[in-house]
Every structure is written in structure tokens, then in C-alpha cells.
Amino acid sequence: MLLHYIYLLAITAEAMSGAIMGIRREMDLFGISLIATVAALGGGTVRDVLIGHYPLGWVAHPEYLAFTICAAIVTALAARKLHHFKSAFLVVDALGLVAFTIIGCDIARGFDSFHPAIVVIFGMVTGVFGGLLRDVLCNEIPLVLQREIYASVSLLTGAVYVGLLHLQVDTSVATLSALVPGFLIRLLAIRFHWELPRFNDKGIKGFE
Amino acid sequence: MLLHYIYLLAITAEAMSGAIMGIRREMDLFGISLIATVAALGGGTVRDVLIGHYPLGWVAHPEYLAFTICAAIVTALAARKLHHFKSAFLVVDALGLVAFTIIGCDIARGFDSFHPAIVVIFGMVTGVFGGLLRDVLCNEIPLVLQREIYASVSLLTGAVYVGLLHLQVDTSVATLSALVPGFLIRLLAIRFHWELPRFNDKGIKGFE
Amino acid sequence: MLLHYIYLLAITAEAMSGAIMGIRREMDLFGISLIATVAALGGGTVRDVLIGHYPLGWVAHPEYLAFTICAAIVTALAARKLHHFKSAFLVVDALGLVAFTIIGCDIARGFDSFHPAIVVIFGMVTGVFGGLLRDVLCNEIPLVLQREIYASVSLLTGAVYVGLLHLQVDTSVATLSALVPGFLIRLLAIRFHWELPRFNDKGIKGFE
């Protein structure tokens, strides 16, 4: 229930992040709305297509599209003022990341044959592939492949959640035990620029 | 019936537009054929994958692939002469946009549970996602996110078509009533550079 | 059976090729693992999504993901030494291309309604779309659209395989008769820079 409201808040925030990227690339109102929608609903869409889980969320609930398109229009109109809210965006995006992850795990758990690792993977797909598709459409190397721990937070959140449910912990306890630490770690990662290791590319110069 | 011939004409035109982009990026004959095929059949493919509607059109009708590959080869061989036909291309592309839209709406209408807005969205996906995938493969920000009203024409065409059918108007009347104005508006949009609004990106400078 | 071992060898090699691209673009460990996985398993995933064939290979066999992620980590740690093995990579990649193609044809042949040409196409999709998605995520025009005959080898291998099975040739004979020449032609294409024709783009200057 609470998760549903967090979900609506999160798709709004992701839609606004997509809209901002579209505005900066001088897209028109259609382009901005499409990027916003892809950023917000793309992760769940990729998950459902990879599972073969139909109808897709936004097909069954067209009101999600109304949310993302309204968020895009508001962002476009308010673009000049948005830099005042940059921190708020990062916080809601972090909340969205963990909420999307848990919702994605729940959908995948509905398929009995799935290995727990696959459930965690589909949680991560739900959390990060919206942003990944947004960046591909904007002709950028996806940020999620490069920046401070982001997908890793999603994988950790999903692993804690699926692990606790496996130990017969109550669903709402498992949700909070995965959501809260995941959210806090993401915020700390932003604050202290925590990163995953990168690697020396000497020796592979001639490879492409 | 007429729509079927317009469809074949349209996939040929879209395939040629894809082939031209491939030739300009110095792709080889395989690359040109693939881009042509994606441009022509990608919209319907994305629609069917998002709906879960199998088999895909070109899987059931492999002759569509023969069409797009032949169009690519002819385009490659005739590349030097093509600039004489630039206006013809724009006209056939406009026709294709509205025809793809109506065909996409028809497929989506076969699913009783779909909200009319979702039917219109799938019409638009059919109309514009081929060009969008073509641009992603060519490593460009998709044109449809930026240029004069294009996707908007598709949404309008679909809305008129679905709206008239909702009012129990005869299918062929609804088809023509959506097709003809959509086609004319697209031609006028090209002629007079009609555009959707863009937005000031001051104030979001520091955002990425 | 042999094909299964070649498959595991091939996904390892493709994963390493993906990891190398990720390292060169300064991705972090998550990015490198994701690119590796997409390069190795993306072709089969696209094929299965286009067919509507669920569950996907890596969903039913999560151990494939363990393979690709381990290959990515080993590549990242050993990056400095990898240039000694460049030729070995090209050989295993060529083997992977033909093995993926034949495995893809086998999956598609399970659908009785598919035209033989569609079976060959799905073999090619399996062989080349992993590398294509890898390049899109790395923000490059896909190599397969431009370089010496690669997709063509896959199409040829698939056509020989499907053709021989059509003539009631024994499966293992057909497999070897398609695999060995395909593999050799790909090696010769690398050695002698065999290319498909490209085309003069004069006359289409003003087209975009």
C-alpha cells in the first residue's frame, strides 16, 4: 500500500529526470514526454517483456502514462525554477530506485520456477533500465554503467528482500529491512562519491 | 484492402529512408538492409512485443522482409539518382505514417481489455518507432523527438480513428476521415515547418 | 552435446569482448559485467523475445549469468595481459558466431509454422544481435553493420544448415557441414579483409 504511493512518487520523479534530459537536448514537447515516460516506465516494461508478463503495467493502468506526461509538461513549464529542487530530486530518485527494485522482485516472485538470483536480477532491471533506455535515446553512454554505486544498491536491496522472504520473514518487515538501508546507502553513495572499482585499460589498446 | 497496398508502399518508402541513412554512414550491404528493415518493420515489431502479440507480422509474412531488402538494394544501386525524388519520399513517408498508425490501432483494438487511449498509443508506436530504432542504430538522437510535428500527427490520426469507431461510424468512413486529414496536416507541417513548443533550459544547467 | 560446450566457450568469449569495450569506456564493475552479459546473451534474448519463446535461456539457466559475470571480472583483472591473446579471441569469436547461429536455428525450427527463411533469420539474430546491443550501449554505430563479412557468414551458415536438414541429412552431419565452412570463411574474411559492397553516397547529400 505504502509501496504503491512510493511507486507513484517515484515514476513522477523519474519522469521529471527524463524530461530534464529532453529539454537540455532541445527536444519538443512530444520528445520530452516520451523520454519522461521511458525513464519512468521503461524498467518495468523491459522486465515484463523479458519475463513474458502481459499486459504491461501501463497497458493495464493507462493512468501511469497520464502521470508521466503531466510530470513532463510541468517540468517543461517550470524548467527555470527546477535547480532549487536538485537535492529533492536525488532523494526521490534514491527512494524510487529501491521501491522499483522491490516491486520488480515481487512481480518476478510470482513465477514459481524462477531462481532467487533471477528474481533479484529482475528487481535490478526494474530499478535501473528506465534510466538506461533514457540515456540510449538521448545518445549517451548510460550513466548507470559508470557512476557511483547505483545498480549495486538495487542488487543489494533485492538480495536482502528476497533473502529475508526466503527465511519466512513477514513481507512488510522484509520490505522495510530492504528499503531503508538501500535508500540510506544510496544517499551516502551520492554524498561521499562511493564508486565501484574501475580497471586499467593499458594492454587492451589495440583491441578494437 | 486499400490499406494493405498503402502498407506495402509505406514499408518500401520507410525501407528506402533507412537504406539512405545506412549508405550515408558507409555501412555495407548487410548494414543497409538491416537498417532498412528496422525502419520499415520496427514500429510494428515493437508494438507486437509490447502487446505480446505473436507471431510478429514479418515472421508470419516473410515476404515483407523480401520487400524491405529489395528496397534497400535498389536504393543502394540507385543512390546517385535519388535526390530527384526527395519530395516523393516525403509524401510517401507521410502516407506511411498515417497508414501505419491506423493499422496499429486495428491490431490493438483486437484486445478487448485495452483502454482507447492505449489503442491510440499503440497506433503511434507503430507509426514512429521504426524511425526511432533506425536513428538509435545509426547513433543519432531520434529525429522524431525533435522535428516538426510528426508523432503528434500520428496521435491525432489515431484519436480521430478510434473516436469515430467508438461513435459506431462505419470502418471505411472512419479510416478515410482519419487518414486524409492526418496526411494533409503532415504535408502542411513539412511545408510550413510547424513545430511543437520547446522550452527554455536555463535553470537546469547544473542538473546532469 | 559438443555444441553445448562450444556454446559455453562462445558466451565466455563474447562476454570478454563486451568487458573489454566496457573497460575502455571507463565503466565500473557493474557496467563491465552488464556489457559482457548483453554481448554474450543478448542475441538469444532478442531472438526469444521476437519469437515469444519463454522463459529466456538465462532465466531458466542462471548459471549462464555466472559465466558471463565471472568472464567479465577475470577480464577486468587480467586486462593488462589480454593483448597477448588477441588472435585467440578472434578465433573463439568466429566459432561463437557459427555456433550461436546453429543454436538459434534449432530454437526457431521448434516452431512448425516458421518459414525456412525465418529460421535462418533467427539464427543470424542469435549470432549477431549480442554484439549489436553491446555497441548501442557503448554509444557506437554497431560494428556488424560496417565490418568485413560477419552477419553474412551467419546467414550462410544458417542457410546451409537449414537447407541440409530440409534434404533429410542427418543432424550431426548438417551441423558440421554448416559449422566448419562458416568458421573457415569467417577466419579468411578476417585475414583478407573480405567486405560486402558499399555504395556511393553522392546524390543523397541533401537528404537528411
Domain spans of chain C, in order of start: 2-195
ipTM, 2 dp: 0.90
Contact (CB, 8 A) for B152 and B124: no
Chain C hits for A150, CB-CB cut-off 8 Å, are 30
C54 and chain B in contact, CB less than 8 A: no
A22 and chain B in contact, CB less than 8 A: yes
The pLDDT, as a whole number, for residue C54 is 95
Q: How far is C126 from chain A (nearest CA, A)?
A: 16
The pLDDT, as a whole number, for residue B207 is 53
CB contact under 8 Å between A206 and C82, yes or no, is no
DSSP string across C19-64: HHHHHHTT--HHHHHHHHHHHHHHHHHHHHHHHT--S-HHHH-THH
User: What type of residue is B58?
Assistant: W
- How far apart, in whole angstroms, are the C-alpha atoms of residue A173 and residue C93? 48
Taking 70 as the pLDDT cut, the residues of chain A under it are: 148, 200-208
Partner residue facing A137 (CB), from B111, B136, B152? B136
- How far apart, in whole angstroms, are the C-alpha atoms of residue B2 and residue A111? 44
The pLDDT, as a whole number, for residue A66 is 95
C154 and chain A in contact, CB less than 8 A: no
Q: Residue B181 pLDDT > 60, yes or no?
A: yes
B54 and chain A in contact, CB less than 8 A: no
User: What type of residue is A26?
Assistant: E
Contact (CB, 8 A) for B105 and B44: no
How many H helices and E strands in chain C? Answer: 8, 0
Percentage of chain C exceeding pLDDT 90:
60
Q: Residue B140 pLDDT > 70, yes or no?
A: yes
Cell numbers representing residue C71 in the block: 568472464
B172 and chain A in contact, CB less than 8 A: no
CB contact under 8 Å between C141 and B139, yes or no, is yes
B28 and chain C in contact, CB less than 8 A: yes
Q: How far is B78 from chain A (nearest CA, A)?
A: 31
The pLDDT, as a whole number, for residue B82 is 76
* pLDDT-derived band at C119, boundaries 50, 70, 90: very high
DSSP string across B166-181: HTT--HHHHHHHHHHH
Partner residue facing A24 (CB), from B144, B197, B201? B201
Contact (CB, 8 A) for A17 and A88: no
Helix axes A29-51, B151-166, angle to 10 degrees: 70
What is the rounded average pLDDT of the residues C123-138? 93
What is the rounded average pLDDT of the residues B110-125? 96
Q: Residue B201 pLDDT > 80, yes or no?
A: no
CB contact under 8 Å between B20 and C145, yes or no, is no
Cell numbers representing residue B66 in the block: 523480401
What's the per-residue H, E or C state across A64-117? HHHHHHHHHHHHHHCHHHHHHHHHHHHHHHHHHHHHHHHHHHHHHHCCCCCCHH
Which of B96 and C48 is assigned the larger pLDDT?
C48
Question: Cβ neighbours of residue C16 under 8 Å, at least 6 residues apart?
Answer: C36, C71, C72, C74, C75, C82, C89
Q: E strand or H helix at B41, and its extent? A: helix B29-51
Chain A hits for B145, CB-CB cut-off 8 Å, are 22, 25, 27-28, 30-31, 34-35, 137
Question: What mean pLDDT, rounded, does chain B reach?
Answer: 89
The pLDDT, as a whole number, for residue B147 is 73
- How far apart, in whole angstroms, are the C-alpha atoms of residue B142 and residue B132? 5
- A3-20: b (≥16 Cβ within 10 Å) or e: eeebbeebbbbbbbbbbb
What is the rounded average pLDDT of the residues C26-41? 92
CB contact under 8 Å between A203 and C60, yes or no, is no
Q: Residue C93 pLDDT > 90, yes or no?
A: no
What is the rounded average pLDDT of the residues C101-126? 96
Q: Residue A99: which of A14, A207, A18, A33 has the closest Cα?
A: A14
Which of C60 and A79 is assigned the larger pLDDT?
C60
C197: preceding bond cis by omega (within 30 degrees): no
What is the rounded average pLDDT of the residues C122-129? 96
Question: What mean pLDDT, rounded, does chain C reach?
Answer: 89
Cell numbers representing residue B166 in the block: 467508438
For the four alpha carbons of B41, B46, B51 and B52, in that order, the dihedral sign comes to positive
Q: Residue C159 pLDDT > 70, yes or no?
A: yes
A133-174 confidence digits (pLDDT tens):
999 998 888 877 877 688 999 999 999 999 999 999 999 999
- How far apart, in whole angstroms, are the C-alpha atoms of residue A123 and residue A99? 9
Contact (CB, 8 A) for A83 and B207: yes
Neighboring chains of B (3 or more beta-carbon pairs < 8 A): A, C
- How far apart, in whole angstroms, are the C-alpha atoms of residue B55 and residue C65? 28
Partner residue facing A201 (CB), from C56, C79, C81? C79
Half-sphere exposure of B62 (CA within 13 A, CB side): 10
Which of A178 and B24 is assigned the larger pLDDT?
A178
